[in-house]
Each structure stands twice: as structure tokens, then as C-alpha cells.
Structure 1
Amino acid sequence: MTEAAAPQTDWADPRWRGAALDWVTEALARTGRRVAGPVEPRVRPWSLVWRVPTDGGDVWFKANSPGTRYEAALLAVLARLTPGRVLEPIAVDAAAGWALLPSGGPTLREVAGGDDDLAGWVRALPGYAELQRVAAGHVDELLALGVPDHRPEALPGLFAELLDDRAALLIGAPDGLSPEVHDRLRGLLPRYAERCRWLAGSGIEASIQHDDLHDGNVFAGPAGHRFFDWGDASVAHPFGTMLVTLRSIAHATGRSGSDPALLRLRDAYLEPWTDRSDRDTLRQVAQVAAEVTVVSRSLSWRRALATADPSRAEYAAAVPGWLEELLATPC
């Protein structure tokens, strides 16, 4: 079954824009501030972001498309559960998928200045792991918000369903899967399910999994490292986060995935879990989690692109592209 293209809010509609700006104005008024200039928009198929100048500094308004609407409510819950690890929203409208956020300061990317200094990550990753450890005790609450269920027990069925979505996988199209690759991926289902069963029994409980944690999604200001842009998040095996994080660091610094510096970052992330298992076992669990999480990435892209916005076509190849990576793993 294809994930339906939800009716897309026309973010350029003056009526929608007026209603959103009224909401922002009222939320700011409750904090004693006011809008001090025109908003500056950035639009993607899955979200709209406004930089809103105020008489007390810039704030940020985010509106999510239907496929990622849960992010606003998730931000509020994470701010309550893990204060200081995420930005505390100024206001949230969970039903609309709207959030108003304070400025978080420079990102880890900006602080590093584009160089390959990994010290910021060494400090940030244990804090992210602690956020996940806290959130693991609130999985039912997160799922009730609409956060997608990508736990290892659910992934084999989601993988099978995704393989049936020929439109999302662009079967036979230049940017999609060839019929031959599609058949090969279907042949991986039993082995993939076996790996997921092993992961489910690894002794590390499911939690929030950011699924797009790179240096542009981590604030590194005076208040410490705070993690934002949770629109790809799911309830999943927490170690799956390292798929994107380590790969993005490797890409940014020109390192290979087996570079000792990246392995040290992986170990820094795993350190908070050493009360659960020995380090060698945790490394093995992290490797399997990364292997199965490529399906989660494909599902995240499909969810984000479940909109009638014509600009979605620019990103559509990400859905089959991530899934095809299963062929390069031991799965």
C-alpha cells in the first residue's frame, strides 16, 4: 500500500499565513515580546520554517507537513523529560504541527568552522545517549503522540510493506530500483527479520531515535549541546542513530567509516550503556542496528514526501536509494 499523499497546506496562502502569524504574535505576547519585522521563510516539502525577528531577538516558527506533524508534540515532551537537551518550545500547537522555538545559538557545524575537529562530538554524543536513556522509559507516551514505530519487532513488516510500494521505490525509473534489485531486496526479508529479532533481544530497550543527527542539527552554545530537528525521528533501537551520525562525520571530514577517530566517537556514544553490557557486545549491537536502520531512513523519506507538493520529486530518489544500501551490508 502506498503511503497516501496527504493534502498539503498551501503555506503561501494569505489566510494560512495570517493565521500562523497571529498564533506566533499571541504566543510571543504571553512572554512580553512582539514581532519586530517581516518573517524570513524557508520551505521544504515536509516543513516550513520562519525566522521571526522580535524585540527580544530572533525566534523560529516551524510548521510540519502531515507526514512529520508529530514533531511539534515530540519537542514539548522531550523538553519536559530531558530539560537542557533540547530547546524548550515557546509554544506548541500539536494538532496543527506548529512549534515556536527560541534561538539555540550556533550549531556544531558552525562552531567547528567546517574543519575536522571532532572534540565537539566527543562532548555531545554522551549527552544524546543520556537523552535516549531517559526517553526509553516513556516509549508508550511517544508512540501516542504519533511518533512512528520503527522498533526491531516492527521493521520486518514495514520493510515488506515498503517493498510493495512500487510507486515510492520508483521501480524501473532512472532514479529508482530496477526490477532485478527489487527482487534481490525481497530475497533479503528472511535474513533481515532474523537480524531484527537478534537486535530486539540485545538487552537495549527502544527509545527515541533522531535518524538525522548530523552537525547541523546540534546546537553548541553556552547552554551546552542541544539536539533539534526531530522530524525524521522514530521509536526504534537507539543505536540506529549512529548510521547517519558517523556517516555524516566521515563525509564532512574525508574519513573512511573505519577510521579510528570515528570508532572512538562510536565508543563515546556507547559509553553510557556500559552498565548494560560489555563494550565488545555493544559495538556488535551498534553494527547490527546501523545495518537494519537503512530501512528506517527509507521510511522516513517516504513519510516526509507523503505530500502533493510538486517539489517532492526533487527528493524522491532518497526512498529507493536508502533501501538499496541493504545490498551492501551483511544483512
Structure 2
Amino acid sequence: MSRTVTLVLVDPAGRPLGALPPYDVPEPWWQQAGSIVDGARHRHGVDVAVLRLLTADRPEPPGGHLTYLAEVAAPPAVPLAPATMDLAPHPLRAPWAEPGGPARSLAWATGELDRLGRLVTAVAQHRTWNLSAIWRLDGPDGSAWLKQVPAFFRHEAAVLRWLATAAPDTTPTLLAADDTGRVLLDHIPGDDRYVADPAERAAIAAAHHTLQRRAADDVAALVAAGVPDWRGPALARWIRDQLAPHDTAVVADLLGGLDDRLDQVRDCGLPDTLVHGDLHPGNVRGDGRRATFIDWGDAFVGHPAFDILRLTETLDAATAGPLLDAWAARWRADAPGSDPRRAVDLLRPVAPLRMAAVYAMFLAGIEPSEHPYHLGDVPACLKRAAALA
């Protein structure tokens, strides 16, 4: 599967210039910008910065025919087709999705690297969508990554600062951060471990347990630094608030009993800690020697079982069982008298319910043209929660 893309071009002041002819790119995932940039350069001789999605011919990813807004430094020599698009400002538009936004962020990143004595000789756009913009900056001293996130993910920098002190062997090296959602990270060797087998997932779970055990003693500092506090009743309130605009009839009983269920989870005796929030193997980067946990934007302070449930949710029961048993044994050793397996069973339907609330938060915080990225996620998660309740 691939994508067909049409780029509507604007200049740095936001003036519309017209549209490039459509062309195909190999990756079907809408947020992947690198192949779009490469295609514009190789097919049409135009250097672009992709700003945001404008329209899609299907209700959700992947694939299809997508129209993006892209910025060019000057009108290109290639003929452009007339394009009529709504380019009006929107209060929820990400700063990197505005003309001039990528240049401002790259200027900040190159300035920070210059301060560190690292020369930048090349930059490449990798991703842009409502949840992040990601660029690679290369130079003779190595590569760094600029990541910019929306307001609801800005606590990621606080998590990375804490990890740099408490668990530096498990986290990307934070080179710089500001208060607008920008972080600058040193390059991490290896690959994102989407294809991790059960043995590698077991190693990931063991390394993550060590990190969570350290964080359990420092939750007050994490909350004070701005990490969301979703312990016990606070999680129930937050889930209900986020899901209020959505049809939750399918999980009405689960929502109605959520406070009692979370009280039972607390009685299982496990400590609250730092939760990654999206601990699938693709958010672990490794080279066979070291596993690094990345993408902490979904992090919160809460129950550790949410992460092992995410790590095992796509596995069959026979494969997931030993991972859950090892996770439970570690917590029983660290919290004598606790009942980790009961906590997992109680939270199993709450995990997709929480994810439905996360997607609802995304939809409430992004402009409507980018809703197709997430519109199907809320009902899908609610359906899964209902099936597990």
C-alpha cells in the first residue's frame, strides 16, 4: 500500500502559490513526511517543508489520496495547478504547521547545537502531524533529533529530565528543551523494535520494571514537574471528562463502576509510579546491546500495570502469560503482600477505556482537518473495553 499526495504550496508569508501534480510515495502512513519531501525534490525539483494535512479521500489511515500544505522558500520553476483551499487560521493549529513554523523551530535547534559546539550541515524532515513534528539534524559530531509536540504532551521534557538523572541508561539524551514543546535529543543507535519477539519483550519488561521501581519513590517530584497525576480517583474523573462528548453507551456499566474498580486496584498493594502510557515495542529503540525507551508524551503517574498490559495486548494468551507472570513476580518481590495479577485483571478493561480518553483528548486539542488521524480510535477503544469488562 502507498499514498498519492498533492502538495498545495505557500510561501513563508503564507501566500498560496498553487499545487504540484500528484505523485505516489511508498509509506502509507499519513504522518510520514520524509518520502513526501524526497518525492517533491526528485520529481519536481522543489524543496518543501510539509506543514499539515488538508484533506483525505478516506475516513482514516493508512493510504489513499492526501492533500498537504507545504512551504517553499520561493515560487518554484515547475508549473503549478490552481488550488482552492481553506487556509484560514485556526486556534488549535500546531505552531510547526504554520508557514515559518519549521524554520523557527530549526533555528532554535541549530542554535542549541551551536551552543554545544556541534555544527549542523544538513537537516531532514521525517514526520509531521497533530502529535509531533520530527526533524533530523546531521553534522560532523553526529546526529540529533528535533521533536516538537502540542501542549498536552509538553510534560515529555520533564520526564526526560527526570530520567536523565534517575535512569540515564534507559532514555534518550536530552540536549535541550524549551517551554513550547520542543526537545532536542541525541541520536540513538539501532531500530525501533516493532518486531520484538517474546524474549525481547521480556527483556523490555524487566528493564522497565527497574525504571518504575525507581520512579515509585519520586512520584511527588514527577507530579510537581508537570507529569499528569492519574492516580486512583483522579484517573476516573479524567476519563469521564474526556469521554463526555462521545457516545459511551457501550461502556456505561464500566464507567459507572470505575471508582469501585480502581479502589479494588489500590487494595492490590502496588505502588503508583511513572507510567510510559504507550509501551509497545515500537516505542523502544535498540541495537542488540541497549534498549532505550522513547516517546514519553503519553506518560503519567499512576498504576504500573498499564504498561505491561500495553506491552502484551497484541499477544495471544499463551505468549502473554509468561510475560505477565514474570512481571507479577517482580512486583510481589518488591511489594510483599501485593496481588499484581488481580490488579492486571481489574485494569484489563480500564486500559482501552483510558486509551479512548487519550484519543478523545487528542480530538479536543487538534484542528478539524486532522481529525481523520484519530476519529475511529475512540469507538474502537470503547468497543474493546466493553468486550473485556
- Give the TM interval when normalised to the shorter protein: 0.7 to 0.9
Question: Cα RMSD between the aligned structures?
Answer: 2.3
Q: Is the partner of 2:136 in helix, strand or coil? A: strand
Question: Whose helix proportion is higher, 1 or 2?
Answer: 1
Contact 1:218 1:225 in 2 (8 A): yes
Structure 1 counterpart of 2:284, from 196, 202, 218: 218
Q: In 2, distance between residues paired with 1:316 and 1:146? A: 28
Q: Which ranges of structure 1 fall in alignment gaps of 5 or more residues?
A: 172-181, 251-255
Q: In 2, distance between residues paired with 1:245 and 1:26? A: 38
Aligned to 1:159: 239
* Runs of 4+ in structure 1 over 6 Å off: none
Q: In 2, distance between residues paired with 1:245 and 1:64? A: 24
Q: In 1, distance between residues paired with 2:198 and 2:214? A: 25
Deviation at 1:309, TM superposition (A): 5.6
The number of equivalent residue pairs is: 298
Deviation at 1:239, TM superposition (A): 0.9
Q: Is the partner of 1:208 in helix, strand or coil? A: strand
Aligned pair in 2 of structure 1 residues 70, 89: CA closer, same or farther (>3 Å)?
Answer: same
Aligned pair in 2 of structure 1 residues 117, 7: CA closer, same or farther (>3 Å)?
Answer: closer
Aligned to 1:102: 186
Q: Following superposition of structure 1 onto structure 2, how do residues 1-331 of structure 1 map, counting pairs within 5 Å?
A: 7-93=92-178, 95-107=179-191, 109=193, 114=195, 117-165=197-245, 169=246, 171=247, 182-221=248-287, 224-248=290-314, 250=315, 256=316, 258-259=317-318, 261-275=319-333, 276-277=335-336, 281-305=339-363, 306-308=365-367, 310-330=369-389
Q: Which ranges of structure 2 fall in alignment gaps of 5 or more residues?
A: 1-89
Q: In 1, distance between residues paired with 2:313 and 2:287? A: 24
C-alpha offsets along residues 63-84 of structure 1, whole Å, 9 cap, x if unaligned? 0012212212221222222121
The answer to which structure, 1 or 2, has the higher relative contact order (CA under 8 A, 6+ apart) is: 1
Q: In 1, distance between residues paired with 2:91 and 2:219? A: 26
C-alpha offsets along residues 269-311 of structure 1, whole Å, 9 cap, x if unaligned? 33431221468x3222222233322222122222333111622
C-alpha offsets along residues 158-216 of structure 1, whole Å, 9 cap, x if unaligned? 33323422xxx2x4xxxxxxxxxx33422333322211111122211111111211111
Contact 2:130 2:366 in 1 (8 A): yes
Q: Is the partner of 1:60 in helix, strand or coil? A: strand
Q: Is the partner of 1:51 in helix, strand or coil? A: strand
Contact 1:129 1:270 in 2 (8 A): no
Q: In 2, distance between residues paired with 1:12 and 1:153? A: 36
C-alpha offsets along residues 112-164 of structure 1, whole Å, 9 cap, x if unaligned? xx4x7322222221110111111122222222333222222222223332342
Q: In 1, distance between residues paired with 2:353 and 2:230? A: 9
**TM-score scaled by length of structure 2:** 0.70
Aligned pair in 2 of structure 1 residues 195, 6: CA closer, same or farther (>3 Å)?
Answer: farther
Deviation at 1:316, TM superposition (A): 1.8
